[in-house]
Amino acid sequence: MKIKTFRRIAQTATLIAIFLIPLLNVFELYFIKGTFYSMDIGDAAIADPLAVFQSMLASGTINPYMIGSLIIPIALMLLLGRVWCSWFCPYYFIAEMMEKLRKLMRMKPFKPQYTDSYPHKQAKYRYLFLLVGLLVMSVIGVPILNLISAPGIISSQALVLVKFGYVTFELVFVAVLVFLELFYYRWWCRLFCPTGTFLSFFRMKRGMTVRKVADECSNCLTCVRTCPMMINPMTMGESGHCNNCGDCVDACPDNRKKDTLKFTFR
């Protein structure tokens, strides 16, 4: 069974959960509550690391409860890499569906030509965008990056819709991002998403990574052409640019003969 099949199961379960959780709360079942900004599961608190960092930076104080809420998400990132982005983020899932729609409509989107230097160029955009956002936030005292967190907005809007029967203007921002996905290949995730960029700082080489495990390789570059983040999985699987989607592993023709490109733990 392909890795993408398991990803689809995880993504679908996540989409169901963002509507099911507030529905349970409507019926006064509060074992699990919250959104992707901050969530409580029993006595365990889980929060978006970037949201917590912004809050502490804006207030100038370190809150032990907030620090505690980072244990689970950071531990998962260190162990499994940026699986949040490709396995659970609702926006990433929608972007993948827009790519399918684009192919059905036979549209030819702008997709940059891969070069060895391109992954580093697009990373500069992401890091600069995150830095500017944090600087603006520190000046005005408002966690501005939360206001453009696509998964946070989708999750919070699902809660508002289920509990109150309407959505707010925030959803327009996500709608614009989604519409632009028709014309610019994975542009938000590759070039701007502050959540994914911040999570990439917690990448650890000993965690789960895509790695070429055999010297023999046909060098067909199918993995490079398949990668949604526009990197070379054979050389950059350990980097923070990779979100461990596994598409390259599924696509690698050499894997049919011998394990060549695989998820491994070093």
pTM over 0.75? The answer is: yes
What's the pLDDT at 75? 93
What b/e readout covers 118-153, taking b as 16+ CB neighbours within 10 angstroms?
A: ebeebbeebbebbeebbeebeeeeebbbbebbbbbb
Total count of domains within the chain = 1
Q: Measure the CA–CA gap between 71 and 202, rounded to whole angstroms.
A: 12
Widest CA span of the chain, in angstroms? 58
Let me know if residue 39 belongs to a domain: yes
Q: Measure the CA–CA gap between 136 and 131, rounded to whole angstroms.
A: 9
Let me know if residue 218 belongs to a domain: no
Let me know if residue 254 belongs to a domain: no
Range of the structural domain that residue 53 is part of: 3-204
What's the pLDDT at 18? 97
Residue 252 has a CB neighbour count (10 Å cut-off) of 23
* Residue 143 C-alpha from the chain's centroid: 19
What b/e readout covers 27-48, taking b as 16+ CB neighbours within 10 angstroms?
A: eeeeeeebbbbbbeeeeebbbb
Let me know if residue 235 belongs to a domain: no
What's the pLDDT at 203? 83
Strands 44-47 and 32-34 turn out to be: unpaired
Let me know if residue 260 belongs to a domain: no
- End-to-end Cα distance, the chain: 24
What's the pLDDT at 59? 80
Q: What is the pLDDT of residues 22-47, one digit of tens each?
A: 999 999 999 999 999 999 999 899 99
Phi first, then psi: give them for residue 48, nearest 5 degrees: -65, 120
Per-residue pLDDT tens digits of the chain, which is 266 residues long: 899 999 999 999 999 999 999 999 999 999 999 999 999 999 899 999 999 999 888 888 888 888 999 999 999 999 999 999 999 999 999 999 999 999 999 988 788 889 999 999 999 999 999 999 999 998 888 889 999 999 999 999 999 999 999 999 999 999 999 999 999 999 999 999 999 999 999 887 788 999 999 988 999 999 999 999 999 999 999 888 999 999 999 999 999 999 999 999 87
What's the pLDDT at 141? 85
Tokens of 213: 């495990």
Q: What is the DSSP string of 156-170?
A: HHHHHHHHHS---TH
Q: What is the DSSP string of 200-213?
A: GGG--TTSEEEEE-
Let me know if residue 115 belongs to a domain: yes
Let me know if residue 220 belongs to a domain: no
Contact by Cβ (8 Å): 151, 50 = no
Let me know if residue 245 belongs to a domain: no
